[in-house]
Structure 1
Amino acid sequence: MKQENRAKLGIITGSGPEAGVDMWQKILFANKQMMQEAFQGDLDAPTVSIISEPQLGLSMELEKNDAIVWEKLARVAQQLDSQVDYYAIACNTLNYYQPQLEALGLNATLVSFGDVLKKKIVTEGLTKVALLGSDSVTNLGIWSPYRVLKEMVEIEVPKADSGLHQLIYDVKTYGGERVDIVQRFTKLVDELDADVVLLACTELPLIQIQTHKQLIDVTELVAKELATLSLI
């Protein structure tokens, strides 16, 4: 496919910025896998525009920062709109704003974490999953972009004293390679009853752990969807 005929992709990041880099890498990997022997190098990569807005990091406490987070997100989405055909937000929590973003009437289409994950659940026939993410995601209340999943599948969430929210903060600060972070996350995952675990925070796939459970990286699912759309 000639580059000028390919759909252009966008990534909104900042919560945290490493999550945007991770999504971009996963888009590039998926693109190579899909093109197989047709992939010959740089000219066969998709066009990707990335905007990183640090204040989107306030989404970790979304209930307290709704107004400023939405203001920044809407502005960035409008800025990106003229550059891309499809875009995603490299943050599970910020996908809460899917209805508001779609109401802006942008030309670019949002590829939401929630829609891609629902497709995965249906395709694989999943009946029970564990959901790991920030507090606003895992409480499955009005601030969670995944609250609709309760109608599709049995959902296990971590215990209130699991320390997951702080663990996510620590990954943002220190990275996912630190030994104590890997150990804490491994223990948390091992204590879950569910065999399928949704990594519903873009920081969590940055922690490399060994487990017998099936870990579903939602960022990776979205990256594959974006790569597919760029080739249509």
Structure 2
Amino acid sequence: MRNKRKKTIGIIGGAGPMAGVLLMQKIITICQKKYKCINDFDFPKIILLSYPFAEMLKPLSFQQDEKKVAKQLKEAIDFLSTSGMDYITIACNTLHSFIDKPYRSKLIDLITETKSFLLKQNLSKVLVLCTKTTKLKGLYNFPKTKLLSPKDLQWIEELINKILSGAYSLKDRKSLENFILLNIKKDPSIDGILLGCTELSVLMDNFSRNNPKIKIIDPLEIVSNKLCKLVFTNKKENNYV
């Protein structure tokens, strides 16, 4: 591996900060376990840009400046592009609603990769846990997905804010588990849970390994596997940076 130039990965984090860290951690773990990386030079170059984005979780509010968020996202993508990153991804679901079309082709798109993954699964109905902005923008309006009610969305957003502040605990993880089980009890056709906010990925990391009866779909897991596959097959696809 030492003499071959591996492709490089750029991660746009900061929304929230720990989600970007978790994605980088997942990539490194896959490098170790699947691609047998041991020495420093075995691993790909990764740049994690933790960008302090403007408010994006309050749709239809004067506090949410969508043009500002879109401009900041362009700056982040441009920074990683000019830094020579071959593959760029965003460690946030909601941020994908602010991508300008010309920039979309530069990304390994978290939403697109998740949709592709879902279509390959034999699932009847997938409950999407996400922010109000993600729901409003229709990011996960896929076949066989079920979105939360306004009341449940409010509860999820309060939990997300708790995770963002770093004030969460195992009790919150248990609360989300109970929330999931209650929704499955109400609608037994639900056989998959999509973590449509990367803060929930932070809270529920490794949850599905401990609870195999609940099919948890984590977009960070999906995109980290995709990135590693691209890096180690060493084939650059035309629609990426």
Tell me, yes or no, whether TM beats 0.5.
Answer: yes
Give the whole-Å Cα distance in 2 for the aligned partners of 1:34 and 1:81.
27
Partner of 1:185 in structure 2?
176
RMSD: 2.1
1:3–1:46 CA contact under 8 A, matched in 2: no
Cα drift, residue 4 of structure 1:
4.9
Q: Following superposition of structure 1 onto structure 2, how do residues 1-232 of structure 1 map, counting pairs within 5 Å?
A: 1-2=1-2, 4-36=4-36, 39-56=37-54, 58-63=55-60, 64-83=64-83, 84-98=85-99, 100=100, 102-104=101-103, 109-137=106-134, 139=135, 141=136, 143-147=137-141, 149=142, 153-162=143-152, 163-176=155-168, 178-193=169-184, 194-208=190-204, 211=211, 212-232=213-233
Cα drift, residue 122 of structure 1:
2.1
Which sections of structure 2, spanning at least 5 residues, go unmatched?
Answer: 185-189, 234-241
Give the whole-Å Cα distance in 2 for the aligned partners of 1:156 and 1:112.
21
SS at 2:193 equivalent: strand
2:69–2:98 CA contact under 8 A, matched in 1: no
Give the whole-Å Cα distance in 1 for the aligned partners of 2:104 and 2:217.
31
Cα drift, residue 7 of structure 1:
0.7
2:11–2:47 CA contact under 8 A, matched in 1: yes
CA 1:157 to 1:104, structure 2 compared with 1: closer, same or farther past 3 Å? Answer: closer
CA 1:105 to 1:122, structure 2 compared with 1: closer, same or farther past 3 Å? Answer: closer
CA shift digits 1:124-163 (9 cap, x unpaired):
23331010111122x3x4x23223x1xxx22222332220
SS at 2:162 equivalent: helix
CA 1:3 to 1:17, structure 2 compared with 1: closer, same or farther past 3 Å? Answer: farther
Give the whole-Å Cα distance in 2 for the aligned partners of 1:172 and 1:77.
23
What amino acid is aligned across from residue 190 of structure 1 in structure 2? L
1:129–1:196 CA contact under 8 A, matched in 2: yes
TM-score (norm 2): 0.82
SS at 1:130 equivalent: strand
TM-score (norm 1): 0.85
Give the whole-Å Cα distance in 1 for the aligned partners of 2:103 and 2:193.
33
1:15–1:59 CA contact under 8 A, matched in 2: no
Q: How many residues align?
A: 217
Moved more, 10-19 or 119-128: 119-128
1:92–1:202 CA contact under 8 A, matched in 2: yes
Give the whole-Å Cα distance in 1 for the aligned partners of 2:104 and 2:16.
26
Give the whole-Å Cα distance in 1 for the aligned partners of 2:9 and 2:35.
17
As a proportion of its length, which structure holds more helix?
A: 1
CA 1:3 to 1:20, structure 2 compared with 1: closer, same or farther past 3 Å? Answer: farther
2:10–2:87 CA contact under 8 A, matched in 1: yes
Cα drift, residue 105 of structure 1:
8.4
Give the whole-Å Cα distance in 2 for the aligned partners of 1:48 and 1:92.
20
CA 1:4 to 1:66, structure 2 compared with 1: closer, same or farther past 3 Å? Answer: farther
Cα drift, residue 34 of structure 1:
2.5
Cα drift, residue 96 of structure 1:
1.6
Give the whole-Å Cα distance in 1 for the aligned partners of 2:93 and 2:104.
22
CA 1:206 to 1:81, structure 2 compared with 1: closer, same or farther past 3 Å? Answer: same
Percent same amino acid at aligned positions?
A: 24
Give the whole-Å Cα distance in 1 for the aligned partners of 2:71 and 2:18.
22
Cα drift, residue 97 of structure 1:
3.2
What amino acid is aligned across from residue 226 of structure 1 in structure 2? L
CA 1:175 to 1:222, structure 2 compared with 1: closer, same or farther past 3 Å? Answer: farther
Give the whole-Å Cα distance in 2 for the aligned partners of 1:20 and 1:29.
14
